[in-house]
Structure 1
C-alpha cells in the first residue's frame, strides 16, 4: 500500500507496491515535505509504504506523546512552510529536526492534548449552533 494525503487533508491509500522503500508504522506523525508542504496527520492505518512527498516522524512514546507533537507541529506550520525550497517546494528532514521543541513531562503533554481537545470540542459545538 502507498499512503498519501488527499485534497481534503485525509490519509488515503491510492496504489500498491511490491517493493516498499519508505515505511511508516501506525502512530507515526506524517508530514508532507514536497509540493504542498506542511499537511500533518497521525498514521492510523498501520504499516504502509509512504509516497515520496511524505516524511514519517517516529516518537519515543515514553518521552513524547505523538498527539502533543502533532499539535506542536501544526502550530509551527508557517515556520515549516517558510523553509520550503526548490522548483517543487520541499523541506528536508533536518528542517524538522532543527525545530526547537518544548518538552514537558509526558503526563503534562497528555493534559495539554486533553485540554486542547476539550476546547476544540466546545468550538465545534458553538459552530454547530451558529449554523442551525
Structure 2
C-alpha cells in the first residue's frame, strides 16, 4: 500500500497551529492580532566556544557579552579571531541580527548588530533569527525582545551566575499583528523614542545650566555681590567691614 502523500501546510495554517491557547494568553489584544510562541516565529543560533588561544589583534571581530551595550552591539574594543573552517555560517553575525546574552548577571540583555562587516558569535550569546520574514519585521522583533529583557532574566537559573537555555525562551508568548500593522507600530515607537531622546537632551542641557548657575550664585555669595544692596541700605562701610583672615 502506497504511503499517503504528506500534505504541506501553508504559512497561515502553520501559524494557526502555533497559537497560544486562550487560557494562557497574558492579556487581550486586538481581534486582528494573534498570540503565538517564540519558537514558532524565531529560532536561536548559539555561539562558538572560542578559546583565549584563538584571540588575535586583527581578523574577524568576535562579539562577546561585554560588546552588547544599550541595545546595540559595539565592537570598538572587541577582540579578533581567524576565519573558521567548519560550520562558519552558523556563527556569522550580519547586519540587522539581534543578539541576546544567555548567561551572567546581564542575562537577557540584547542588542542589534548594525555594522556592514561580518563578525563571529561567541559562546553564551544567542542570535535570534526570524523564521519567516514575510510574517515578522526585524524591528518588531527587536522592540518586543527589548521589552522582555527583565522577564528573560527572571526566567534564568543558577544563582550568582544566571543562565538561560534557548529552550526556555522558546515558550515566551508574543503578540503578533499583521505585517503592515507591525510597521505602523515600529514607526510610532521610533517617533516617540525620538521625542524622548530630544526631551532627555533638553533636560541634560538644563541640568548642566542649573549646575553652572549654582556655582555662579555661590561665587557671588562669597565675593559680596549678593549683599551689595543690603550693605547700602544699612550704611555699611565696606572698607572697615571686611577683613582678610586665615582660616
Q: Which has the higher helix share?
A: 2
Provide the rounded CA distance (Å) in 1 between the counterparts of 2:196 and 2:92.
Answer: 35
Which of 113, 120, 128 is the aligned partner of 1:43? 113
Q: Deviations over 1:54-82 (max 9, x none)?
A: 10011132111111111111111121001
1:18 to 62, 83, 90: 83
Cα offset for 1:125? 1.2
* Aligned with 1:130 (options 187, 199, 203): 203
> How many residue pairs are counted as aligned between the two chains?
132
Deviation at 1:39, TM superposition (A): 1.6
What's the CA shift for 1:31?
A: 0.7
After the TM superposition, which residues 43-62 of structure 1 pair with which residues of structure 2 at under 5 Å, given as runs? 43-45=113-115, 46-59=117-130, 60-62=132-134
Structure 2 Cα separation of the partners of residues 8 and 66 of structure 1: 19
Change beyond 3 A, Cα 1:7–1:115: closer
Could you tell me which of 31, 38, 49 is aligned with 2:100? 31
**Higher radius of gyration, 1 or 2:** 2
1:79–1:7 distance in 2 versus 1, CA, 3 Å: closer
Q: Give the Cα separation in 1 of the matches to 2:194 and 2:184.
A: 15
Contact 2:100 2:108 in 1 (8 A): yes
Q: CA separation in 2, counterparts of 1:97 and 1:70?
A: 16
Extract unaligned runs of 5+ from structure 2: 1-59, 206-247
TM-score, normalised to structure 2's length?
0.49
Q: 1:3 aligns with which of 44, 55, 63?
A: 63
| Distance in 1 between residues matched to 2:179 and 2:195, nearest whole Å | 25
Residue 40 to residue 7, structure 1, CA distance change in 2 (3 Å) = closer
Structure 1 stretches of 5 or more lacking a match? none
- Looking at structure 1, the residues matched to 193 and 144 of structure 2 have their Cα atoms a distance apart, in angstroms, of 15
Task: Provide the secondary structure at the position in 1 that maps to 2:95.
Answer: coil
